[in-house]
């Protein structure tokens, strides 16, 4: 999802919140006088882990050093508590007591990942003495930690391997990314503008449930908040935004210049709205009547919403708040995430055709996206320009956030492949997705999962990453496989 954003007239992507990872390594201090070479070796391993963590991505690592007993663990706990970490990584270099790490887990308030990475794939049994063996003994305290954490009511997860084990580091990176998404949600500000699409019972969301289950804040916006900002947009700014649109999109002959200029004007006003309210995601809908101002604003949103989504501020139509949040999660995992629903099933090619009219994540388009003029938006009032593309061919993941009878959210995902083939030319973001099974059976299973009307379609197979996010959020996770 980089080609569009690296173009000469790049859309300036927002700077996501950085993830803070706390690191504490430790071992039993009673060993140090007995085996003088052991502590230096373990400290070198800890330094390597710190180095590798810093290479995971745009994260800050708060390394509080090496602890050897419970009092040192308590000091580390206070340092990590004050650092506001999104994830605590406890490196079990050798045996250590649970009393050394339990305070860290209890006081930080952050998810805990225990890692057991021995120096190499295996010991050299013919040459090792007790001191050399102890450097490979990080697995020894893991059951003890698990038992103590369970009894203390502290959730944790673990990764075991060796220092340069890429399989283990892939799992560690998964937890770091998931913690970053959790942090983005806990600090996120989600805009909700307009009103519910009449009759969409699944879309309706209790706003308090967002803050209580995901964290963050929902900012309730009026279309008048957008209107006053659009009214202040200058003609020069409109011309500049039209030129950006011509650079980013291919313009179909059906595009009416007046409609394009209006979409550009709304786009500039939308950017101001997002900046003024510090919005990380946006869901919107307004019906309007007889071509009045609010109807025109709602109809002119698609261009600006798509540009925002490509920059990392996902926007979803039809007031689908949980879907705009799902798009944000997919974006922060690196998969883009485009506004999507079911469109049709192809039982000859065994594909599910899915997409939407409206906001699209331009950065994951298989080609230069097309702007098409529409005389009518199906099921909605208004007219104007809409985005047409298909997601880049290859592995993809569908991801949505549903809601159970008791109000709890459920995260739903399914992995498939976008394949080539004929597409509608009606201003929709249609993709042909092969889930490796009968499309009818997949559609039935997907619909029975509890997912909403809409979801995010993103690049890459990301079910494992999304499952990690769900665990850190304490939510149910369902992966649809047929």
Is 1 a residue whose pLDDT tops 90?
Answer: no
Average pLDDT over residues 121-129: 96
**Of 402, 399, 397, which is closest to residue 418 (Cα–Cα)?**
397
Cβ neighbors of 56 (< 8 A, separation 6 or more) are 21, 172, 173, 176, 177
The pLDDT tens digits for 304-327 are: 999 999 999 999 999 999 999 999
Average pLDDT over residues 41-64: 96
The SS3 of residue 75 is helix
Average pLDDT over residues 287-293: 86
Domain ranges for the chain: 19-185, 187-479
Q: What is the pLDDT of residue 357?
A: 79
- Report H helices in 23-97: 31-34, 38-54, 70-83
Q: What is the pLDDT of residue 156?
A: 92
Phi, psi (degrees; rounded to nearest 5) at 128: -75, 140
The SS3 of residue 326 is helix
Q: Does residue 153 or residue 58 have the better pLDDT?
A: 153
The pLDDT tens digits for 201-259 are: 888 999 999 999 999 999 999 999 999 999 999 999 999 999 999 999 999 999 999 99
In what order do the strands lie in the sheet containing 217-221?
Answer: 217-221, 189-194, 281-285, 315-316
Burial of 167 (C-beta count, 10 Å sphere; 0-12/13-18/19+)? exposed
Q: What is the pLDDT of residue 379?
A: 60
Instruction: Tell me which H or E stretch contains 179.
Output: helix 166-186
In the chain, what percentage of residues exceed pLDDT 90? 87
The pLDDT tens digits for 34-44 are: 999 999 999 99
Phi, psi (degrees; rounded to nearest 5) at 292: -70, 175
The pLDDT tens digits for 346-405 are: 999 999 999 987 778 999 999 999 999 987 666 666 678 999 999 999 999 999 999 999
- For residues 256 and 398, give the distance between their C-alpha atoms in angstroms, rounded to a whole number: 33
DSSP 163: T
Q: What is the pLDDT of residue 9?
A: 44
- Give exposure, 82-116, as e/b (b: 16+ Cβ within 10 Å): ebebbbbbbbbbbbbbbebbbbbbebbebbbbbbb
Q: What is the pLDDT of residue 7?
A: 45
Fold entry, domain 19-185: Rossmann fold (3.40.50)
Q: Is the dihedral of CA 97, 99, 104, 110 positive or negative?
A: positive
Class of domain 187-479: alpha beta
Residue 310 sits at the vertex; the CA angle it makes with 343 and 428, to the nearest 5 degrees, is 25
Average pLDDT, the chain: 94
Angle between helices 98-108 and 142-152 (to 10 degrees): 40
Q: What is the pLDDT of residue 6?
A: 47
- For residues 394 and 338, give the distance between their C-alpha atoms in angstroms, rounded to a whole number: 15
- For residues 307 and 245, give the distance between their C-alpha atoms in angstroms, rounded to a whole number: 9
């Amino acid at each position: 999802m980089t080609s569009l954003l690296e173009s000469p007239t790049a859309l300036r992507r927002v700077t996501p919140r950085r993830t803070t990872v706390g690191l504490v390594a430790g071992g039993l201090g009673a060993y140090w006088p007995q085996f003088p070479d052991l502590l230096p070796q373990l400290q070198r391993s800890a330094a390597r882990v710190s180095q590798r963590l810093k290479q995971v991505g745009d994260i800050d690592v708060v390394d509080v050093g090496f602890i050897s007993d419970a009092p040192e663990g308590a000091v580390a706990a206070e340092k990590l508590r004050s650092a506001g970490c999104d994830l605590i990584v406890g490196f079990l270099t050798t045996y250590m007591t649970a009393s050394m790490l339990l305070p860290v887990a209890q006081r930080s308030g952050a998810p805990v990942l225990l890692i057991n990475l021995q120096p190499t794939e295996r010991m050299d049994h013919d040459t090792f003495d007790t001191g050399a063996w102890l450097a490979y003994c990080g697995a020894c305290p893991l059951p003890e930690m698990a038992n103590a954490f369970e009894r203390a009511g502290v959730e944790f997860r673990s990764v075991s391997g060796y220092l340069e084990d890429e399989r283990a580091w892939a799992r560690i990176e998964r937890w770091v990314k998931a913690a970053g998404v959790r942090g983005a949600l806990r600090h996120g500000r989600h805009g909700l503008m307009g009103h519910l699409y009449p009759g969409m019972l699944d879309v309706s969301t209790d706003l308090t449930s967002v803050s209580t289950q995901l964290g963050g804040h929902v900012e309730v916006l009026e279309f008048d908040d957008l209107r006053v900002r659009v009214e202040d947009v200058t003609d020069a700014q409109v011309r500049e935004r039209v030129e950006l649109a011509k650079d980013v999109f291919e313009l179909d002959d059906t595009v009416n210049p007046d409609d394009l200029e209006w979409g550009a004007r709304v786009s500039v006003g939308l950017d101001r709205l997002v900046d003024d309210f510090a919005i990380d995601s946006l869901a919107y809908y307004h019906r309007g009547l007889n071509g009045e101002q609010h109807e025109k604003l709602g109809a002119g949103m698609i261009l600006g919403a798509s540009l925002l989504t490509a920059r990392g501020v996902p926007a979803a139509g039809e007031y689908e708040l949980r879907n705009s949040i799902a798009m944000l999660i997919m974006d922060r995992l690196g998969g883009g995430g485009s506004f999507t629903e079911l469109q049709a099933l192809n039982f000859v090619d065994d594909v599910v055709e899915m997409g939407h009219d409206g906001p699209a994540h331009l950065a994951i388009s298989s080609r230069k996206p097309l702007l098409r003029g529409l005389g009518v938006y199906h099921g909605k009032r208004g007219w104007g320009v809409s985005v047409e593309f298909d997601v880049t061919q290859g592995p993809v993941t569908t991801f949505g956030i549903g809601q159970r009878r008791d109000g709890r959210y459920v995260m739903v995902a399914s992995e498939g492949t976008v394949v080539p083939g004929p597409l509608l030319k009606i201003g929709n973001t249609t993709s042909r997705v092969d889930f490796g099974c009968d499309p009818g059976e997949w559609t039935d299973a997907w619909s029975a999962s509890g997912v909403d009307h809409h979801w995010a379609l993103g690049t890459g197979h990301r079910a494992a990453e999304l499952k990690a996010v769900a665990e850190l959020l304490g939510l149910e996770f369902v992966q649809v496989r047929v």
